[in-house]
């Protein structure tokens, strides 16, 4: 299951996980066959086949519905229509999630829908400001950059362009302001990583100097590390990938600092208390609740990201990074499978809370003790155990 979930674009049909799934189905049918007459056995097999066909038809119908919703989003004539089409698309997506609980499908939908709306805002900005005086790229960071966007995600964005001419800088300042104003209306702008913030806008030379100024910072959440989650959304792929490569090279050029950042990632607290139970908040408005982001999602993202940086893995999605670390021999098959399952379970629980209006990206995701189902508690503990084992391996490798 976990490896299927981790196969974003791979050959799922021929994967080990799919072979195991088919083998399990064969065993289940064989177990039942011992108690059935031949005609009953045929009826069982035919029933399973019919159910699978119905599921396939439902899947294809819903996939077409989501594609139509995204196509309608692209054709929206104005902001009001864009907002309405997006809400309609979200309704379809939440219905799909309620039945399938497919994390990767929802991440893809949420990222694609935001890409479309950002493209709409950029086209509007270009229509007002005219042709750009230099190549540029608008890039996603954070959850959005990692293709881990959810229904309430804002868009962490940066702007990089290929000219330091003062007139070009003025054009890009005006352009980024207009695009940000549209994204504000769409409630997509992030609080900090914004196109109209000078800290997240500049020519490639300025970005290079910013990265150089952070050299020697052993912080796994530094701005240079954040740039390693960069994903091009619009414009020059070459500029975007150059910026990301600069960040990765800078981090890998100083092994002592990189090892210190890896060590910091490996000792981030995970969600167990001393007695092996889920760690609940002890005070404040969330007393008695489990902080899913702080004690599960963030430690996984940060640790896997630092390992990917060390191995110069270009993928940004956490699940893809796990798969590439497995292929590179940095993770064993068993631990990689457990981490992929943990990734799915953590995000499934997060998105279920979001759909139920019990959490969002701005306020956080706090799970009330009495509302965590027995099955979800088992999934959380198993996932946290896999994460703890990963951190222990990283720590031992660093301390070597």
Residue 260 vs residues 8, 274, 325: alpha-carbon distances, Å: 32, 26, 20
Q: What is the pLDDT of residue 179?
A: 97
How far is Cα 171 from Cα 173, in angstroms, rounded to an integer? Answer: 5
315: exposed, middle or buried (Cβ count in 10 Å: 0-12, 13-18, 19+): middle
Is 158 contained in some domain?
yes
Residues 120 and 143 reside in one and the same domain: yes
Place of tokens 């670390």: 325
Is 75 contained in some domain?
yes
Q: What is the pLDDT of residue 62?
A: 83
Boundary of a domain, candidates 196, 221, 253: 253
Is 2 contained in some domain?
no
The three-state DSSP-derived secondary structure of 11-30 is CCCCCHHHHHHHHHHHHHHH
Neighbouring CB atoms inside 10 A of 199's CB total 11
Residues 244 and 296 reside in one and the same domain: no
Pairing of strands 136-140, 366-368: unpaired
CATH of the domain at 63: 3.30.460.10
Residues 198 and 267 reside in one and the same domain: no
Of 219, 397, 387, 365, the C-alpha closest to 304 is: 387
Residues 182 and 82 reside in one and the same domain: yes
Is 322 contained in some domain?
yes
Residues 389 and 329 reside in one and the same domain: yes
Cβ 300 vs Cβ 349: under 8 Å: no
Residues 267 and 300 reside in one and the same domain: yes
Q: Is the pTM of this model over 0.75?
A: yes
Of 120, 302, 118, 301, the C-alpha closest to 194 is: 118
Cβ 174 vs Cβ 129: under 8 Å: yes
Cβ 326 vs Cβ 313: under 8 Å: no
Largest CA distance in the chain: 84
Average pLDDT across the chain, whole number: 90
Cβ 230 vs Cβ 140: under 8 Å: yes
Residues 126 and 275 reside in one and the same domain: no
How far is Cα 42 from Cα 45, in angstroms, rounded to an integer? Answer: 5
How far is Cα 307 from Cα 395, in angstroms, rounded to an integer? Answer: 11
Stretches in the chain below the pLDDT threshold 70: 1-18, 33-34
Q: To which H or E segment does residue 289 belong?
A: strand 289-291
Of 289, 309, 299, 215, the C-alpha closest to 264 is: 299
Is 324 contained in some domain?
yes
Place of tokens 């279920």: 352
Of 195, 218, 212, the C-alpha closest to 246 is: 212
Residues 189 and 42 reside in one and the same domain: yes
Dihedral of CA atoms 59, 63, 68, 70 in degrees, nearest 10, equals: 140
How far is Cα 343 from Cα 4, in angstroms, rounded to an integer? Answer: 12
Any idea what DSSP says for residue 160?
A: E
Boundary of a domain, candidates 253, 280, 297: 253
Boundary of a domain, candidates 253, 273, 298: 253
Residue 320 vs residues 4, 75, 175, 235: alpha-carbon distances, Å: 12, 31, 34, 24
Is 271 contained in some domain?
yes
Q: What is the pLDDT of residue 110?
A: 94
Expressed as residue numbers, the domain containing 141 is 36-253
Long-range contacts of 315-320 (CB under 8 A, 24+ apart): 316/145, 316/146, 316/147, 316/228, 316/229, 316/230, 316/231, 317/8, 317/107, 317/146, 317/147, 317/148, 318/146, 318/148, 318/343, 319/5, 319/6, 319/8, 319/104, 319/343, 320/6, 320/8
CATH of the domain at 345: 1.20.120
Is 296 contained in some domain?
yes
Residues 167 and 279 reside in one and the same domain: no
Neighbouring CB atoms inside 10 A of 46's CB total 10
The domain tally of the chain equals 2
Cβ 157 vs Cβ 111: under 8 Å: no
Place of tokens 């009330």: 368
How far is Cα 182 from Cα 192, in angstroms, rounded to an integer? Answer: 16
Is 211 contained in some domain?
yes
Q: What is the pLDDT of residue 46?
A: 81
Residues 205 and 326 reside in one and the same domain: no
Q: Three-state SS for 214?
A: coil
Of 131, 284, 118, 258, the C-alpha closest to 189 is: 118
Place of tokens 């890009």: 172
Residues 270 and 212 reside in one and the same domain: no
The residue ranges of DSSP E strands in 45-156, in sequence order, are 136-140
Residues 217 and 355 reside in one and the same domain: no
């Amino acid at each position: 299951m976990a490896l299927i979930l981790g196969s974003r674009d791979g050959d799922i049909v021929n994967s080990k996980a799919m072979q195991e799934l088919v083998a399990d189905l064969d065993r289940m049918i064989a177990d039942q066959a011992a108690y059935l007459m031949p005609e009953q056995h045929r009826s069982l097999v035919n029933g399973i086949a019919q159910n699978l066909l119905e599921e396939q038809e439902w899947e294809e119908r819903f996939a077409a519905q989501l594609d139509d919703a995204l196509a309608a989003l692209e054709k929206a004539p104005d902001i009001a229509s864009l907002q309405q089409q997006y809400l309609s698309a979200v309704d379809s997506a939440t219905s799909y999630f309620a039945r399938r609980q497919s994390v990767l499908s929802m991440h893809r939908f949420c990222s694609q829908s935001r890409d479309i709306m950002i493209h709409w805002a950029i086209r509007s900005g270009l229509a007002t400001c005219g042709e750009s005086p230099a190549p540029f790229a608008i890039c996603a960071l954070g959850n959005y950059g990692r293709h881990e966007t959810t229904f309430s995600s804002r868009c962490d964005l940066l702007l990089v362009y290929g000219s330091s001419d003062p007139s070009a800088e003025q054009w890009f300042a005006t352009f980024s302001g207009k695009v940000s104003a549209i994204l504000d209306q769409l409630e997509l702008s992030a609080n900090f990583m914004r196109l109209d913030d000078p800290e997240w806008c500049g020519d490639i030379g300025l970005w290079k100097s910013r990265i150089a100024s952070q050299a020697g910072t052993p912080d796994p959440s530094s701005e240079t590390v954040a740039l390693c989650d960069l994903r091009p959304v619009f414009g020059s792929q070459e500029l975007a990938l150059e910026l990301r490569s600069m960040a990765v090279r800078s981090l890998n050029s100083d092994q002592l600092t990189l090892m210190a950042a890896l060590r910091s990632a490996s000792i981030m607290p995970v969600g167990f208390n001393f007695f092996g139970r889920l760690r609940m908040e002890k005070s404040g408005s969330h007393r008695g609740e489990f902080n899913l982001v702080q004690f599960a999602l963030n430690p996984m993202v940060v640790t896997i990201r630092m390992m990917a940086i060390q191995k110069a893995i270009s993928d940004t999605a956490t699940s893809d990074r796990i798969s590439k670390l497995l292929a590179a021999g940095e993770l064993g098959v068993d631990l990689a499978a457990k981490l992929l399952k943990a990734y799915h379970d953590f995000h499934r629980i997060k998105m279920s809370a979001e759909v139920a209006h019990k959490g969002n990206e701005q306020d956080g995701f706090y799970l009330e003790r009495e509302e965590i189902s027995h099955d979800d508690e088992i999934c959380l503990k198993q996932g946290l155990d896999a994460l703890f084992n990963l951190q222990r391996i990283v720590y031992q490798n660093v301390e070597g």
